[in-house]
Amino acid sequence: MKGYDEIKQREKADKWQKYWQEQGYIVVNPFIIGDKLRNSFDIILNREPEYADYLKADLEYLESCTDIFFCYGWENSYGCMEEADKTIEKELKPHFESNIII
């Protein structure tokens, strides 16, 4: 989410999390993953996680998913491109913000 206002992106993620939960999905929110990772690194390693740590955690959580949701601009994000590769590899069902009106 580099280059975007984190507060606005968190609000957007919360909005989509609520939408998908209303559709019956169990949602894995990347901000929650990041917060947990940051707390663990602070307690155990006494340092901030690096980008690679966040991406690794995201991809590990993706292993337990059946579907994935891509927001506008995903194709411009290295992390999202890695998630897209994992989506193909794991045969997950992709959903795109551009295809949904709420």
- pLDDT bin (cut points 50, 70, 90) of residue 101 is confident
Query: What is residue 4's predicted lDDT score, i.e. its pLDDT?
Result: 81
- pLDDT bin (cut points 50, 70, 90) of residue 2 is low
d(CA 17, CA 102): 12
Any domain includes 76: yes
Query: What is residue 1's predicted lDDT score, i.e. its pLDDT?
Result: 60
CB 31 within 8 A of CB 57: no
Number of separate domains in the chain:
1
Query: What is residue 3's predicted lDDT score, i.e. its pLDDT?
Result: 73
Any domain includes 95: yes
Longest Cα separation, the chain: 42
- For 1-102, strand residue ranges (E) read 67-70, 93-96
Any domain includes 25: no
Domain that holds residue 64: 10-18+30-99
Any domain includes 47: yes
The residue count for the chain: 102
Q: Give mean pLDDT, residues 66-89.
A: 95
Q: For residue 73, is pLDDT > 70? A: yes
Any domain includes 75: yes
How do residues 24-44 score in pLDDT, each as one tens digit?
A: 999 999 999 999 999 999 999
Any domain includes 1: no
> Residue 54: what residue type?
Y
